[in-house]
Structure 1
Amino acid sequence: MPEPTALLFATPVDNAPWEAYHRPYVRDLAYALACPDVLTRWLEFAPHQNTPPIAVHSSEFWLAQFSAYQQRLHELDNTDAYQDLTRYLLKRPSPNRLGFHFEGLLAFWLEDGYTRGLHPYETLASNIQLYNGKQTVGELDLILYNHEDKRVEHWELAIKFFMGSYPFAPENWVGINSNDNLERKMTHMQTKQFRAVWVETENHGQVKIDKRYALIKGRFFLPMNSNDLSYFEWPDWLSSDFPMHKWCDKSDKVNLAMLDTNNLRLAHYIEWFTKREFYDNCQVKLTGFDKNSNKQPDDALPRTGLYFEGDRFIVIYPQQRDHVDNES
């Protein structure tokens, strides 16, 4: 598995629909909608739990939702309606955490889109606490009523930025926290949140869940230590149009030598979603060298953080935990 001191390179996704928007939260919202789920199907890692069936939305589903919401995205991007989105997001708990930001974006779309008749999903409840006696054991993200299919749905959300390594099974996709991987996240969802059948809502009483959906989005990274990645066989469970980039171990001197360390800009936490160009000219460019390092500048690595090198790619040196929290 990749070391947690790896560098990640996020190359632009060709024709990414979210890049058409200028205001940062609108671009994030477009990303949250248009980005497909990482999974094409749910994988069972705890069959002994007898969990009810878990589904995954198709890429076509998300493109349809994005298409239906495009006119509203244009309005948010070009009028004072943008304040509706910013106020909604900033009043939520912990808006600076990526997982909560992702939840806020989808929650806004669900409420705003339903009010405007752009989708059939009515929000019945969100962030429902699960208890074992007096102890909190989990939380359900979203309980929705699908007016088109006449059923109650439970959507569980996750935003993940994982590095992959051979043989690219779910346990081989690892996060900045090396204890966090795709298999572990899916097992947790299956054995905790998705076991719920009946839930108590504040405004709709007790409701029975009819269908469960896992929503796992984000960005994945393939290793840079092979030019052609001929050994990489795309798993059938991995969406072929999921945003895919590259990672590089800090010991890979060849690829690290290609970095223009004089052109690195320290990114703000929220730019894990989409880049904010307005920071390019108002923030001092960083050389990226760790002042505490005993190495000569030519050999030093960028200090911990998330960086941009011009517009070509994002560089993440993922050892620092206080700049970003993407647990979800």
Structure 2
Amino acid sequence: MSELKTPRTETLATHAPWETYRRPYVRDLAYVLACPNVLTEWLDVAPHQNTHTVSVHSASFWQQQFEGYQQRLKELDTTNDYQALTRYLLKRPSPNRLGFHFEGLLSFWLEDGFARKLHPYEILANNVQLYNGKQTIGELDLILYNHKEHLMEHWELAIKFFMGSPPFEPINWVGINSNDNLQRKMTHMQTKQFCSVWVDTKNHGKVKIDKRYGVIKGRFFLPMSITCFVSPHWLTSSFPMHEWCDKTDSATLATIDIAALRAAHYIEWFSKRDFYDGRQLPLVTSENGILKTGLYFEGNRPIVIYPKKPDQAED
């Protein structure tokens, strides 16, 4: 744990760089680039298994990619080039699922940025199927060639919106589905997806992986009731942080202006869409009057209402 104890209000995201863009998919794309990896370093969550070394990109790496792509983001936000982005995203499989949307946004940047010589990463293959005999056992997200360092890289992607609770270790950050937590996701990536050495690609034959990167982005939510947050050493300090509230915690709920809440549409886990304002979704369940689980906006402030404390989730 870091020795610096930070008041909760100072850890929360204020004005984010992606909010300067007008068009929603451009805002999402800017978010995907400007948001750092949640990890400052890969944590060995399977120390007793013979696994490969996994790396993470630094926060400064992603800041450089965002800054290098800003002119292109401006073009996408102000010209008809936006249509190329929307067509690219909507023609992909399951574009309405958050994980696929994240992968689509990052893939667009990789392809578009490489073609414009804005970065050295060339996509050689994506969604590479892994087999055990004739049975599909998984897939690899991205196989890239880094022309600058002359390395074959495997990037495994994850977009996570996790609620945290003390002691704020990876197992204590869980999703709306309480079976999903940061430790479980990292374990799966390390012991399943990062096990491959040689990969068969459709257009480039068999390639040998030189380096593996876990790309985990998203938003984290701290309990509204917490007064002091001690940041774990592995948590990137600039990672987007917001708040969550236990839906049964009436005292904390009383501090929220319920009348001002708007339930978020699914895609708004990435960025808020102002055109949904005024189109209110039901806030409460009909049988008990308790706020539904999910993401809300109090003005522009994101708040998650959660059905129970995350530390009640089991690994």
In the superposition, the TM-score normalised over structure 1's length comes to 0.87
| 1:74-127 C-alpha deviation (Å, 9 max, x unpaired) | 000000000000000000000010000000000000000000000000000000
1:296 alignment counterpart:
none
Task: Kindly provide the amino acid, as one letter, of the partner of residue 117 in structure 1.
Answer: K
Q: Indicate the structure whose relative CO is greater, using CA pairs within 8 Å and at least 6 residues apart.
A: 1
Task: Kindly provide the amino acid, as one letter, of the partner of residue 301 in structure 1.
Answer: I
Gaps of 5+ in 1: 1-10, 294-299, 320-328
* 1:185-204 alignment runs, 5 A limit: 185-204=185-204
Shift of 1:278: 1.4
1:179 alignment counterpart:
179
Is 2:302 the counterpart of 1:302?
no
Q: CA, structure 1 residues 313+46, in 2 after alignment: closer, same or farther (shift >3 Å)?
A: closer
1:236 to 224, 233, 247: 233
* 1:12-23 alignment runs, 5 A limit: 13-23=13-23
In the alignment, the residues of structure 1 paired with residue 269 and residue 302 of structure 2 have an alpha-carbon distance, to the nearest angstrom, of: 12
Could you tell which deviates more after superposition, 101-110 or 259-268?
259-268
Gaps of 5+ in 2: 1-10, 309-315
In the alignment, the residues of structure 1 paired with residue 293 and residue 184 of structure 2 have an alpha-carbon distance, to the nearest angstrom, of: 26
2:276 alignment counterpart:
279
Work out the number of aligned pairs and report it: 299
Shift of 1:156: 0.2
In the alignment, the residues of structure 1 paired with residue 305 and residue 251 of structure 2 have an alpha-carbon distance, to the nearest angstrom, of: 17
Task: Kindly provide the amino acid, as one letter, of the partner of residue 277 in structure 1.
Answer: D
1:6 alignment counterpart:
none
| 1:156-200 C-alpha deviation (Å, 9 max, x unpaired) | 000001111111111111111111111111000011010000001
In the alignment, the residues of structure 1 paired with residue 273 and residue 187 of structure 2 have an alpha-carbon distance, to the nearest angstrom, of: 34
In the superposition, the TM-score normalised over structure 2's length comes to 0.90
* 1:1-328 alignment runs, 5 A limit: 13-226=13-226, 228-229=227-228, 232-281=229-278, 283=279, 285=280, 288-293=283-288, 300-317=289-306
Could you tell which deviates more after superposition, 256-265 or 99-108?
256-265
RMSD over equivalenced CA pairs, Å = 1.8
In the alignment, the residues of structure 2 paired with residue 304 and residue 185 of structure 1 have an alpha-carbon distance, to the nearest angstrom, of: 22
Secondary structure of 1:307's match? strand
In the alignment, the residues of structure 2 paired with residue 19 and residue 201 of structure 1 have an alpha-carbon distance, to the nearest angstrom, of: 37
In the alignment, the residues of structure 2 paired with residue 249 and residue 62 of structure 1 have an alpha-carbon distance, to the nearest angstrom, of: 33
Task: Kindly provide the amino acid, as one letter, of the partner of residue 273 in structure 1.
Answer: F
- Whether the 8 Å CA contact 2:26–2:77 is kept in 1: the answer is yes
Shift of 1:12: 7.0
| 1:43-99 C-alpha deviation (Å, 9 max, x unpaired) | 111123321211000000000000110000000000000000000000000001000
Secondary structure of 1:44's match? coil
- Whether the 8 Å CA contact 2:128–2:140 is kept in 1: the answer is yes
In the alignment, the residues of structure 1 paired with residue 88 and residue 135 of structure 2 have an alpha-carbon distance, to the nearest angstrom, of: 30
